[in-house]
Amino acid sequence: MYKAASLLQNARIDKDLSLEEISKKVKIPEKYLKAIEAEDSKSFPQEPYCSLIVKDYSEFLGLNSQQVLSLFRRDFAQKRKSDYRAKNIFSFTPKFTFYLLIFLTLFALLSFLVYEYFKFNQPPKLEVAWPALSPATSGVLSITGITDPEATVRINDDLVIVDQNGKFEKNLNVATPEAKIVIQSQSPNGKVTRVEKVYR
């Protein structure tokens, strides 16, 4: 496929002319002649000056100026179209935005399901604030802690109420100088977290 830039360059070389010589004779800045031959569209002058340059350049080289100009406009239009596509490859078109929203929605849903799956299959958290007071000096221990709100808590096999925030509390009567306290939190799916402490 013939291109305007190639036709102009080949004709100039065949006549053994430099861009500098043509620039002086045709009164066209050399940088524009070089840009046209190199198809450097970023350096083209604004229209209609660009088309006039191509026309005068073609006529000076003895080429059919209308034919070369038509080829030039075709080549330039194709190059501008390809440059536009390259610049807008990641543009937010309605179609791209639609697919992006679907992807983000599916990703959020999948992340939520994975989170709920692992949360369901993990044993409940259990944090206990063990009292510093020992049974040797007092017969009552106030046990407090926090777990998952839906978990069931037992202290030494006694069921303890868990509030909506997962907090629980129980005053435990200790009759012996040495006492072992076992706290167990069980999730609805049967997973258990167990902690214990022996007061001496």
Mean pLDDT of the chain: 83
Q: Is the pTM of this model over 0.75?
A: no
Q: How far is CA 55 from CA 10, 23, 86, 142, 185, in A?
A: 16, 14, 29, 98, 88
pLDDT in tens, 51-95: 888 899 889 988 988 888 888 888 776 555 444 444 555 566 788
Task: Just give the CATH number of 4-87.
Answer: 1.10.260.40
- Please say if the pLDDT value at position 110 is more than 90: yes
For the chain, first and last CA: distance in Å? Answer: 97
Name which residue leads in pLDDT, 169 or 178: 169
Q: How far apart (Å, rounded) are the C-alpha atoms in residues 122 and 187? A: 9
Name which residue leads in pLDDT, 47 or 24: 24
Q: How far apart (Å, rounded) are the C-alpha atoms in residues 154 and 192? A: 11
- 162, β-bridge pairs: 168
Check residue 84 and give its pLDDT.
Answer: 43
**What pLDDT band is residue 153 in, cutting at 50, 70 and 90?**
very high
Q: How far apart (Å, rounded) are the C-alpha atoms in residues 18 and 128? A: 89
CATH 2.60.40.10 assigned to 126-199: yes
Contact between residue 58 and residue 69 where contact means Cβ atoms under 8 Å apart: yes
